[in-house]
Amino acid sequence: HFQSTANTTKMAGQTNGLEKRNKYLENSKEDFLYHFGFGVATLDLPKVFGDTKFVCTGGSPGRFKLYAEWFAKECNIPCSENLSKSDRFVIYKTGPVCWINHGMGTPSLSIMLIEALKLMHHAKAENVTFIRLGTSGGVGVEPGTVVVTTEAMNAELSDKHIQVIAGKRIERPTQLDENLRLELCELAALKNIPVVTGKTMCADDFYEGQMRLDGYFCDYKEEDKFAFLEKLYNLGVRNIEMESTCFASFTHRAGHRSAIVCVTLLNRMNGDQVKIEKEKYVEYEERPFRLVTALIRKQLAI
Binding site: which residues? 88, 132-135, 210, 212
Question: What's the rounded Cα separation, in Å, for the pair 8 and 15?
Answer: 13
Helical spans, DSSP H, in 235-277 = 244-254
| DSSP-assigned letter for residue 110 | H
Could you say whether residue 232 binds ligand URA (CB under 6 A)? no
Residue 136: which of 275, 267, 236 has the closest Cα?
Answer: 267
**SS3 for 296?**
helix
List the one residue from 108, 129, 149, 210 that touches ligand URA (CB under 6 A). Answer: 210
Residue 152: burial class (beta carbons within 10 Å; 0-12, 13-18, 19+) = buried
* Residue 265 near residue 147 (C-beta atoms within 8 A): no
Indicate which of ligand R2B, ligand URA, none lies near residue 243 (CB less than 5 to 8 Å, by partner kind).
ligand R2B
CB of 136 to ligand URA, least distance (A): 5
Indicate which of ligand URA, ligand R2B, none lies near residue 240 (CB less than 5 to 8 Å, by partner kind).
ligand URA
The residue count for the chain: 302
List the one residue from 240, 254, 291, 294 that touches ligand URA (CB under 6 A). Answer: 240
Question: What's the rounded Cα separation, in Å, for the pair 204 and 242?
Answer: 6
What does 197-238 look like in DSSP terms, one character per residue? EEEEEE-SSSSGGGT-SSSS---S-HHHHHHHHHHHHHTTEE
C-beta of 59 vs 96, nearer to ligand R2B: 59
CB of 39 to ligand R2B, least distance (A): 27
Indicate which of ligand URA, ligand R2B, none lies near residue 210 (CB less than 5 to 8 Å, by partner kind).
ligand URA
CB of 213 to ligand URA, least distance (A): 12
Footprint of ligand URA on 109-128 (CB under 6 A): none
Could you say whether residue 274 binds ligand URA (CB under 6 A)? yes
Stretch that binds ligand URA, among 19-27, 88-96, 130-138, 215-223 (CB under 6 A): 130-138
Q: What does the binding site for ligand URA look like in residue numbers (CB under 6 A)?
A: 135-137, 206, 210, 240-242, 265, 274
